[in-house]
Amino acid sequence: MPVDCCVICGRDDNSCFVTEDGPACYSLTATIPRGWARLPVTPGSYGEYYVYHRPTPNEQPPDEQADTPYECVIVSMDEVAEEAVEWLWQGRIELGCLNILCGYPGVSKSLLALDISAHATTGAKWPDAITHDHAPGNCILLPAEDHIAKAVKPRGIAAGIDWARTKVIKAVRAGDRLEAVNLQRHLEAVRRAIASVGDVQLVVLDPLNSFLGDTDSNSNEQVRRVLEPLCAIAESMNFALVVIVHVNKMTSQLNPLDRVSGSRAIAALARTVAIIGEDPDDKTQFIYAMAKVNHARKPGPLVYTIENDDAGRPCMAWLAGEAATDAAGVLTGTTGRRKTAVDRAVEWVKDALEAGPMPSKDLEGMADAAGIPASTLRKAKERLGVVPEQIREDGKVVGWTVSLPEGGATL
């Protein structure tokens, strides 16, 4: 088939997809043919992209030299205007980028995605929001495993989705043939579909692996070739791209981001990563905990349960308050948050002063020897309510002692 146009990522011999007049999208591994013209494209957050096209009869082919040296593109930061980060859900789902929902099977990840879709399409207040602060927008769902009539529709009804604002990409048509969506082949068709809907705030891929084609999901290079152009589309159209992935079996990994199934590039490209799992304290509840938030303070973990509406359709019920564990605790099934440096310093100070008052200088010296920074020691003493008392000689203050408050420490 003749190819008239292609889009590549980064290097000239490392292309992502090729488009023709038809709906198909073909992977290109060969180098760009000599004589093709390159059109300028503004670089985005996910890399630099170029568009090449076959020269027309009236177009002079560029004089390309194989040994043309590379030149750095220098940006003067005093000419760069600051851009505000935009959120679909503050601190949890960012617009214009990749967002990951990661968890074990059976923890209602798909139901959570539909609940997020309901808030996006109706403008309903988010579970942890104080005020109603976002307008409704359109949503596009790509469910690879759930039946759209038997699962997506009833669950969406229970979640309260505005169906007038919701579309499902069921397949890609190639002439008389229907094909399952494959981002290696159909990315341009997906882009056109999103653009045709308009005012899209949210696109959900459930699960991500079903759309990667024959991509080796453990290969950083291959995963980036598929995801970087998709992330660039999300950035250019300013919608939140939410993908669902599973947890891998690497239980020895303590960092929650290392538990995201597949290549590390998946979590690296995402601006937010959430871990979903059972509440260690109550197996009937689930926790939605943020493991990565690039552009905001990480919000606390939320708790929800699964209930049935009057028609017996499953739906989410958000519980008040925050969970007592974090993303790592969700994965390991441990109760309580991981101890911080201040938590450990509090225990150390409590043990050190349990026998009675101590000169402040001595406590500081012992803490320094134990590797506790002065700032951490100060915070620990404040949390414990440590009581300072002057040491006087001949009416002069010559030092201080510190002790636990009467009646014990106040944690």
For residue 232, which of 38, 2, 21, 8 has the smallest C-alpha distance? 8
Residue 15 has a pLDDT of 40
Q: What is the mean pLDDT of residues 328-348?
A: 77
Q: What is the mean pLDDT of residues 87-98?
A: 96
Residue 33 has a pLDDT of 54
CATH of domain 87-332: 3.40.50.300
Query: In whole angstroms, what is the distance from residue 24 CA to residue 173 CA?
Result: 9
For residue 242, which of 234, 250, 253 has the smallest C-alpha distance? 234
**3-state SS class at 278:** strand
Residue 22 has a pLDDT of 37
Is the entire prediction scored with pTM above 0.75? no
Burial degree of 81 (CB within 10 A; 0-12, 13-18, 19+): exposed
Q: 335 falls in which pLDDT band (50, 70, 90)? A: low
Query: Cβ atoms within 10 A of the Cβ of 90, count?
Result: 16
Query: Cβ atoms within 10 A of the Cβ of 318, count?
Result: 13
Helix axis angle for 220-237 and 183-197, nearest 10°, is 10
For residue 326, which of 277, 264, 272, 383 has the smallest C-alpha distance? 277
Please give the angle made by the CA atoms of 260, 10 and 264, to the nearest 5 degrees.
10
Helix spans in 124-182 (H): 153-159
pLDDT of residue 398 exceeding 60, the answer is yes
Q: What is the mean pLDDT of residues 67-92?
A: 93
Q: What is the mean pLDDT of residues 124-151?
A: 90
pLDDT of residue 13 exceeding 70, the answer is no
8 A C-beta contact, residue 278 and residue 333: yes
**3-state SS class at 118:** helix
For residue 243, which of 102, 366, 46 has the smallest C-alpha distance? 102
Q: Which two tokens stand for residue 95?
A: 């617009």
Residue 392 has a pLDDT of 86
Phi-psi region of 175 (alpha: psi -120 to 50; beta: other; left: phi over 0): left
185-214 per-position pLDDT tens digit: 999 999 999 999 999 999 999 999 999 999
Q: 14 falls in which pLDDT band (50, 70, 90)? A: very low
Query: In whole angstroms, what is the distance from residue 360 CA to residue 353 CA?
Result: 11
Q: What is the mean pLDDT of residues 42-61?
A: 51
Residue 250 has a pLDDT of 87
Residue 18 has a pLDDT of 39
Q: Which two tokens stand for residue 319?
A: 């519980």
For residue 123, which of 196, 201, 195, 197 has the smallest C-alpha distance? 201
347-363 per-position pLDDT tens digit: 899 889 988 899 999 99
Share of the chain above pLDDT 70, in %: 80
Task: Specify the range with the lowest mean pLDDT, choosing from 60-69, 174-183, 334-343.
Answer: 60-69
Q: What rounded mean pLDDT belongs to the chain?
A: 84
Residue 51 has a pLDDT of 52
8 A C-beta contact, residue 270 and residue 292: yes
Residue 256 has a pLDDT of 93
pLDDT of residue 28 exceeding 80, the answer is no
Phi-psi region of 274 (alpha: psi -120 to 50; beta: other; left: phi over 0): beta
93 Cβ neighbours under 8 A, 6+ residues apart: 87, 99, 116, 202, 240, 242, 272
Q: 20 falls in which pLDDT band (50, 70, 90)? A: very low
